[in-house]
Every structure is written in C-alpha cells, then in structure tokens.
Amino acid sequence: MRTIIEPFRIKMTEPIKLISRGSRKRLLKKAHYNVFLLDAESCCIDLLTDSGTGAMSTEQWAALMLGDESYAGSKSWKKFEATIKKITNMKHVLPTHQGRAAEGILAQTRVKKDDIIPNNSHFDTTRANVEFVGGQAVDMLCGEGFDIRTEAPFKGNMNINKLEKCIRENGPDKIPFCMITITNNTGGGQPVSMENIRSVKRTLKKYGIPLVIDACRFAENAYFIHEREEGYGDKSLLQIAQEIFSYADAATMSCKKDGLANIGGFLACNDDGWAVDFRNMLILREGFPTYGGLAGRDLEIISVGLMEALDYDYQVYRHATVEYLGKKLKRNNIPFVQPVGGHAVFLDARAFLPNIPELQYPGIGLVNALYIEGGVRSVELGSVMFGKFDDNGKEMPSTLELVRLAFPRRVYTQSHFDYLAEVIEKVWSKRDRISGYRITYQPKFLRHFTCHFEPIQ
C-alpha cells in the first residue's frame, strides 16, 4: 500500500479550539508577543515543542498503575534501570526529572571555568548549563549542516577536522568531555551517521577525552541510520541504538522526547568515579538515586516508552508525518531546511522574510504571524534563542534564523497537518506585511522563554 497509516487507533480525545482572530491578536499582545507566554488553550495546533507533549500508549497507561512509589529500590526503578542498560549497556544509570537536570549534574561535576565543550550543536539548555559553570560551549557542525538547501543524508554530523584542531590548540586537559547531539535539534533535527559517531570517538580516544551523547532523539536518529546508512538496513533499531551507545562514555537524556513520556530524563555513564560525583549531586538536586526527580509511575512509563520509540512501524509513521508537511511546502516553494528533520519542520525565516533585518528577529515575526493566521504555536530558533554578543556587548545575529514546527508524538492527525500547511501558505502569501520586533525586556539566561517584544511599525 502507498498510504502509511498511523500505527494506532484513538481511544481518548482532547478538544482543541480555534479562538477568533481578534482574540488571538489581543492575547498575543498581552503575552508581549512571546508565544511562550500564551495560555495553551488559546493555541489551536501547538507545535511549540515535541518535548513532553506526546500521547501515551495503552501499555504506558497500564504501566502507570504498576508504579511502585517506594522511596528506595522500587520495582519501577529496577525496570527503568534494566531498560536503559539494555539500550545503552552503560554501567551506571541516574534518573532525573528531565534532560537539563542531567546536563546540570554533568556540567557541575565535570566542567571547570574556561573549559571547552565541543558539540555538533549545543541545545540551548546544554549551552546554558556549560556556560553557567564558566565553560565554553563550542559548536562544530559539519559544512552541509549550514547549507539549508542541500539534501545531504547526515547534516547533523560533527566536523572532525574542527574537533581535532580544537583539541590540538587548547590541549586535552581543557576539554573534560565532548558531546554529540542526536538528532541535532538546533541544526534542523538532522541526524548523525554511525560513521561520524565512530570517527568522533576515534579522534577523542587518541587524546583520552570522553564522549557524552545527548541522546534525546536517539531512536529517531537510529531510524535515519537504518534508512540511509549502508550496512544498517538489516539491523533492528535497538541494535543500531546499542551500537551508537557503545561509542559513548556517558549520555544525557530527556525522556520527554524518545522516552515517549511527559516528564523524565536520565544520566548514564561507565566510569565509577563519574558515577560517584553524579550520584552525590543527584541526591542534592533531584532525589535518592533510585528515583531521581521522578515518581515510580514515571519510571514505569519511561521503561515502556523507550522501547516503543524503537518500534520500526512507529518510526515509519513518525517520519512520514514530517515528510508529508515538507512535500506540501516544497510544492509551494516555501523555504525550509531540507531534508526535513526527524521531529520537526524548520522554516527558513531569513529566506521567508528577507526584508526584516536579522536583529529585528525575522523568526519572531514568522512565529507571531503563524499564530495570528491560524492559532499555530511554533518557536524561533535564531538570534533570540541563541542570542550572541561580542566582547563589546554588541548583539550578533545567529548563523541560521529558523522557525521550528515540532511535532508532538502520536498527537495530531493528517487533517491537522493539512490545516497547518494551509496556515503556512496563507502567511507566505502575505509575507510582505509582516513586521520585525524589538526586545523590551530580557532575563540573563535563556532569554527566549520569558523576554518581551514589541513590533517595529
């Protein structure tokens, strides 16, 4: 059959509503033109994030009832630990309430002032955690990753030459670990090849530098490897994931993505010394090592979700939904990052709105236009999110100005995507009328979440 179907049927529904255009305008103004500050019920299609927004399966709801809420050594913890060990084969597993808690523990225990942490592209929370303790978060994405029109298969790859140069120039002592993010969320949700992960590991090994995988979308990345990399077509997604983790010394994970859970995360590692430091910090910040920041029922849900994310049919459907929107945009020559990522379509705001100067935030212009046009909530990944300043405090534009339409897992159906395509096409047809924005308030860290804007008339 040509038609790829959702590999599930719907047992429970949640109403969504499109409020009037006037209300959308009024509420956006009240939210200081920052969609993070809107109430969820005023958004019709909410694509702000794929993080923690998925629908649970019947198996997960059933598992929830098995939650053992004992403080220490619960049955749910045993399952959680066993599942993560099965996938990662790592010696130590530490549950955290979400990904950034794992990143925080990693940064606070391993990064010193002026240390350098290379990554293909740091996610905003990863960068913030490294910088918070005085480290430098350095991105080393491969060349194709910056070319948003090239149809290369693994645009999330790390630039090995840059990595090697960085190690030679700064010395391995300045680099307590190197990270690689799979898939590369900030660079368009693009995958990293097994060959690249292997090469990164080979390079680091020469200098004794550990590799930490930011594994949030490890199952989506495994699917891309299965489909695109020679030698992996006959392997299961679990086998591919196991090989990925075999090259890592540690991993941080937000189970809100490929854990198919609404909350949760973990930190895993092989080194006994690291584990002692992590555990001490975990107890201080999150909770006892057998529950971390989670309830027993969450541990159960994640144990099921991690394995469901590795189900091949689920990944076929998931990728088909993202590609479906991509094809519609391509037909209308609407600029977006190609090929589409694993969890999202990234519109190219710079090409969409060439009249808006970079520091008047074309991404925010586009995000707000999508909300006003059709109640669609998206997110800017550009000069606001990655706000960079030179040594004199002058703001610098981001390399890419993207708007991410992130797809919650197992939530929206094909007609929702048809509607979404229609909204984007409408905004595209009126693009000359969209204005830029200026920032009127911003906090010190992670400014995009809470900053205020006003339109430049």
Ligand X SMILES: Cc1ncc(COP(=O)(O)O)c(C=O)c1O
Q: Taking the complex as a whole, how short is the minimal distance between the CB of residue 126 and ligand X, in angstroms?
A: 6
Q: Taking the complex as a whole, how short is the minimal distance between the CB of residue 123 and ligand X, in angstroms?
A: 3
Q: Nearest to residue 173, comparing CAs of 112, 103, 251, 119? A: 112
Q: How far, in Å, CA of 39 to CA of 235, rounded?
A: 44
* Per-residue mark of binding to ligand X, 315-354 (x: CB under 6 A): ----------------------------------------
> Is 126 an interacting residue with respect to ligand X (CB under 6 A)?
yes
Out of 67, 99, 191, 362, point to the residue binding ligand X (CB under 6 A).
99
The CB-nearest residue to ligand X is: 99
- Residues 247-266, interacting with ligand X (CB under 6 A): 254, 256, 265
Instruction: Mark the segment that binds ligand X (CB under 6 A) among 5-13, 104-112, 121-129, 357-365.
Output: 121-129
Instruction: Mark the segment that binds ligand X (CB under 6 A) among 21-29, 95-103, 237-245, 362-370.
Output: 95-103
> Is 125 an interacting residue with respect to ligand X (CB under 6 A)?
yes
Q: Taking the complex as a whole, how short is the minimal distance between the CB of residue 76 and ligand X, in angstroms?
A: 20
> Is 119 an interacting residue with respect to ligand X (CB under 6 A)?
no
Residue placing its CB nearer to ligand X in the complex, 54 or 436: 54
Out of 34, 98, 129, 203, point to the residue binding ligand X (CB under 6 A).
98
Integer Rg of the chain from CA = 21
Q: Taking the complex as a whole, how short is the minimal distance between the CB of residue 289 and ligand X, in angstroms?
A: 19
Out of 51, 57, 190, 221, point to the residue binding ligand X (CB under 6 A).
51
Q: How far, in Å, CA of 442 to CA of 444, rounded?
A: 7
How many Å from the N-terminal Cα to the C-terminal Cα in the chain? 52
Residue placing its CB nearer to ligand X in the complex, 185 or 338: 185
- Residues 214-243, interacting with ligand X (CB under 6 A): 214, 216
Instruction: Mark the segment that binds ligand X (CB under 6 A) among 35-43, 74-82, 118-126, 146-154.
Output: 118-126
Q: What tokens appear for 362 in the block? A: 């074309």
Helix 296-309 to helix 312-331 angle (10° resolution) is 70
> Is 185 an interacting residue with respect to ligand X (CB under 6 A)?
yes
Quick one: three-class SS letters along the chain?
A: CCCCCCCCCCCCCCCCCCCCHHHHHHHHHHCCCCHHHCCHHHCCEECCCCCCCCCCCHHHHHHHCCCCCCCCCCHHHHHHHHHHHHHHCCCEEEEECCHHHHHHHHHHHHCCCCCEEEECCCCHHHHHHHHHCCCEEEECECHHHHCCCCCCCCCCCECHHHHHHHHHHHCHHHCCCEEEECCEHHHCCECCCHHHHHHHHHHHHHHCCCEEEECCCHHHHHHHHHHHCCCCCCCCHHHHHHHHHHCCCEEEEECCCCCCCCCCEEEEECCHHHHHHHHHHHHHHCCCCCCCCCCHHHHHHHHHHHHHHCCHHHHHHHHHHHHHHHHHHHHCCCCECCCCCCCEEEEEHHHHCCCCCHHHCHHHHHHHHHHHHHCEECEEECCCCCCEECCCCCEECCCCCEEEEECCCCCCCHHHHHHHHHHHHHHHHCHHHCCCEEEEECCCCCHHHCCEEEECC
Q: Phi/psi at 455 (nearest 5 deg)?
A: -70, 145
Applying CB under 6 A, the site for ligand X has a residue count of: 14
> Is 404 an interacting residue with respect to ligand X (CB under 6 A)?
no
Residue placing its CB nearer to ligand X in the complex, 343 or 410: 343
Residue placing its CB nearer to ligand X in the complex, 87 or 261: 261
Residue placing its CB nearer to ligand X in the complex, 90 or 381: 381
Q: Taking the complex as a whole, how short is the minimal distance between the CB of residue 266 and ligand X, in angstroms?
A: 11
Residue placing its CB nearer to ligand X in the complex, 318 or 328: 318
Instruction: Mark the segment that binds ligand X (CB under 6 A) among 92-100, 145-153, 292-300, 372-380.
Output: 92-100
* Per-residue mark of binding to ligand X, 195-214 (x: CB under 6 A): -------------------x
Q: Taking the complex as a whole, how short is the minimal distance between the CB of residue 68 and ligand X, in angstroms?
A: 23
Q: Taking the complex as a whole, how short is the minimal distance between the CB of residue 305 and ligand X, in angstroms?
A: 14
Q: Taking the complex as a whole, how short is the minimal distance between the CB of residue 387 and ligand X, in angstroms?
A: 17
Decide: 187 and 382 in contact? Cβ < 8 Å: no
Residue placing its CB nearer to ligand X in the complex, 57 or 184: 184
Q: Taking the complex as a whole, how short is the minimal distance between the CB of residue 433 and ligand X, in angstroms?
A: 32
> Is 383 an interacting residue with respect to ligand X (CB under 6 A)?
no
Binding-site ranges for ligand X (CB under 6 A): 51, 98-100, 123, 125-126, 181, 185, 214, 216, 254, 256, 265
